[in-house]
Amino acid sequence: MIDEPLLRVDDLSVTFHRPPLRPFGKPSTVRAVDGVSFTLARGETLGLVGESGCGKSTTGNALVQLIEPSGGRIMLDGDDISSFRSREDRLKARRRGQMIFQDAYASLDPRMTIEDILQEPMRIHALGNRQERSRRIQELLDQVGLAQSFRKRYPHEMSGGQLQRIGIARALAVEPDFIVCDEPVSALDVSIQAQIINLLEDLQAELKIALIFISHDLSVVQHISHRIAVMYLGRIVEQAPADTLYDAPRHPYTKALLSAISVPDPVRERENRKNRILLHGEAASPDAIPTGCRFRSRCPIAGECCATMDPALAPLPVDSHHDIACVRVLSGEAN
Amino acid sequence: MSEPLLRVKGLRTEIPGGPGSVVAVDDLSFDIHQGEILGIVGESGSGKSMTALSIMGLVAPAGRVTAKRMEFDGWDLTGLDEAAMRRLRGREMAMIFQDPMTSLNPVLSIGFQLIEQLRWRLGLSRRQARRQAVELLGRVGISGAERRLDDYPHQFSGGMRQRVSIAMAISCEPKLLIADEATTALDVTIQAQITDLIMRLCEESGMSVMWISHDLGVVAGLCDRVNVMYAGRLAESADAMSLYAHSRHGYTRGLMKSVPRIDRRRQRLEAIAGRPPSLIDLPKTCPFEPRCAYSTPECGAKPAPRRNFGENHIAYCWADLPAEEGVE
């Protein structure tokens, strides 16, 4: 029997409404996430990659109920948390999915001490008494590798790397089943980045937490993820185990994205430069999504059928764990 | 060898204030030759941007720049007054910044900003300047340039805005272009387009570039030579091939090992422990010593020696680093 995944996202969509640009104009809608489906197993790391505006952060926000989805379902252990309406139900679901943000400093209240910051989620979810919470804070600081002396400090007294450790400790405080990490290392220096990535990996091994790792840095995502989903304009265009995706990408967008990654090796980098798939232009705007395939305006292999058919994500015939959304590749017309 | 375009010797940039003055750049020496792309790598606070601002003469009045020598194309930059500096800036040396939205004026159309500069700096007529502006936007890959000239910065995407600021920077055909984290805020596919553009411009016009970045990968592909900086000082300087093949400074080595790379997958990243030091009252010894995996007893006792490794490779480090592990 196959285990039911921890999280199953079905046809999730998030639409934003924008007021009209000029008086008496029409309000516009932006479909930031437009029919995204994936699963997340217990203790697994799913990487979400894509360029700015592709909807990866919006997806992450919807999973932890920071944004109301406008369609689709988010099933957590079989319960549709997006349909929860009562305060208690929503609070219960919130405890199980926590979040880590890119800008750790902005995500921490500057007027609270570290102790208060770590205690707040436990208080909100009514976990433990005063003593137990204090003991838990001690444990959390140990887990993220900070000394107990940080308890009485304020966020402005700490460095970026230390703040991100606090962000992680706060997410862990309520013992969640999964954590959405939205660009958690992008703002950090390279040497500190590695410390935080290692910490996340250690914590996952120890606590068996599932992670959704959102980043635009493809090398980092490849390193930390078990599976990766590539997003483009509100849709997942390719999804596969990390090694498969990097070794044998099939979607033309993934191929271009991967070929643009630079490696710290001048010889290889100069070689890559010649074979680099340069995409022309930029992604269309999510308030004017083109008909048919949304990637077709930049796609090197676009054909006539791409203008009319909106490709759905489907497994490759040769590998059922490798899904792509490209009519031409799936039909065997192109590689 | 011909005279370098830019020669810097003993550059020191100090920002006074607070409990002690911050030495942002300390005893830095390097050259940039004509047509060369020099990469400057380091973490935040390593002095990369302050080096650029010191050369451009943009540090005063907040800080004090001193140098034994700072010569650019025959000009002695240490002795130039502000008026003379203004004539050089934009015309002979230009700069692009990380965030084009803050370096472009949001209330003026990009055409106005481009044309104004062409008329003021090159003395072109309105019509000539407009024609030139259209041509420039075409060169940096903005389609429909004629039409887009009257658009405002907010009507462009991030990648397009960065192209506009590159067009502006190269408008007077500067001899030196300083790019400070110019592609850091951009998506990878756009980043590849911009670095290609920079390389093409260098080949076409023989322009020199100082490329400041923390991204070791981009620097590897773009730069001829690389300076690695730490805590305001030069740690290592070498041509790109030699640096990446066999780095000789503990910090460079640490950096290379701490980045995940898709061509060499590893179970675990080797992070550099600790964090960068405060720039107030740094000891004379190697500032990286407390974090270094290769430190020797000398490191904490005496200032690091300048050592030569081959023709174009220097490092300020006591340790003898082994050849890179894990190379196929």
State whether A219 and A250 are in the same domain: no
pLDDT for the residue A226:
96
State whether A209 and A251 are in the same domain: no
Residue A284 CA neighbour count, 13 Å, CB half:
19
Residues 6+ apart with CB under 8 A from A169: A118, A140, A141, A143, A144, A146
Question: Is the CB of B312 inside 8 Å of chain A's CB atoms?
Answer: no
- For the stretch A116-171, pLDDT in tens is 999 999 999 999 999 999 999 999 999 999 999 999 999 999 999 999 999 999 99
3-state secondary structure of B154: helix
State whether A35 and A162 are in the same domain: yes
In this structure, which amino acid lies at residue A162? Q
pLDDT for the residue B327:
45
User: Is the distance from CB of B222 to CB of B195 less than 8 angstroms?
Assistant: yes
Taking CB atoms and an 8 Å cutoff, what residues of chain A touch B272? 191, 194-195
pLDDT for the residue B121:
87
Contact A220 B260 (CB under 8 A): yes
pLDDT band at A271 (very low <50, low <70, confident <90, very high): confident
Give the distance from residue B185's alpha carbon to the nearest chain A alpha carbon, in angstroms.
10
- For the stretch A176-202, pLDDT in tens is 999 999 999 988 888 889 999 999 999
User: Is the distance from CB of B81 to CB of B164 less than 8 angstroms?
Assistant: no
Instruction: For residue A165, give its domain range.
Output: 1-18+28-225
Peptide bond into B61 cis (omega under 30): yes
State whether A197 and A252 are in the same domain: no
State whether A150 and A192 are in the same domain: yes
pLDDT digit string (tens) for chain B, length 328 residues: 578 999 999 999 999 877 788 999 999 999 999 999 999 999 888 999 999 999 999 997 888 999 999 999 999 999 899 999 998 998 999 999 888 888 899 999 999 999 998 998 889 999 999 999 999 998 888 888 888 999 999 988 888 898 899 999 999 889 999 999 998 878 888 888 889 889 988 998 999 999 999 999 999 999 999 999 999 999 999 999 999 999 999 999 999 999 998 888 877 899 998 888 888 888 899 999 999 999 999 999 999 999 999 889 999 999 999 886 544 3
Report the CATH number at residue A211.
Answer: 3.40.50.300
Angstrom distance (rounded) from CA A328 to CA A318 = 15
State whether A308 and A215 are in the same domain: no
From A194, A225, A256, the end of a domain falls on A225
Q: What is the mean pLDDT of residues A285-291?
A: 81
State whether A148 and A264 are in the same domain: no
Considering chain A, what is the average pLDDT of its residues? 92
pTM: 0.89
pLDDT band at A1 (very low <50, low <70, confident <90, very high): very low
Angstrom distance (rounded) from CA B226 to CA B217 = 12
Tokens of B302: 């005496």
State whether A214 and A325 are in the same domain: no
State whether A253 and A211 are in the same domain: no
- For the stretch A61-83, pLDDT in tens is 999 999 999 999 999 998 999 88
Nearest-Cα residue of chain B relative to residue A159 = B275
Contact A219 B262 (CB under 8 A): yes
Is residue A234 one of the residues assigned to a domain? Answer: no
State whether A105 and A8 are in the same domain: yes
Say whether pLDDT at A9 is over 50.
yes
- For the stretch A192-249, pLDDT in tens is 899 999 999 999 999 999 999 999 889 999 999 999 999 999 999 999 999 999 999 9
Question: Is the CB of B43 inside 8 Å of chain A's CB atoms?
Answer: yes
Query: Phi and psi (nearest 5°) for B159?
Result: -65, -40
User: Is the distance from CB of A71 to CB of A11 less than 8 angstroms?
Assistant: yes
Domain edges within chain B = 227-328
* Cβ-nearest to B220 among A189, A262, A282: A262
**Residues B157-188: b if buried by 16+ CB within 10 A, e if exposed:** bbbbbbbbbbbbbbbbebbbbbbbbbbebbbb
Taking CB atoms and an 8 Å cutoff, what residues of chain B touch A243? 265
* Cβ-nearest to B217 among A193, A222, A264: A264
State whether A84 and A174 are in the same domain: yes
The count of domains in chain A is 2
Query: Phi and psi (nearest 5°) for B237?
Result: -145, 130
User: Is the distance from CB of A299 to CB of A253 less than 8 angstroms?
Assistant: yes
State whether A183 and A278 are in the same domain: no
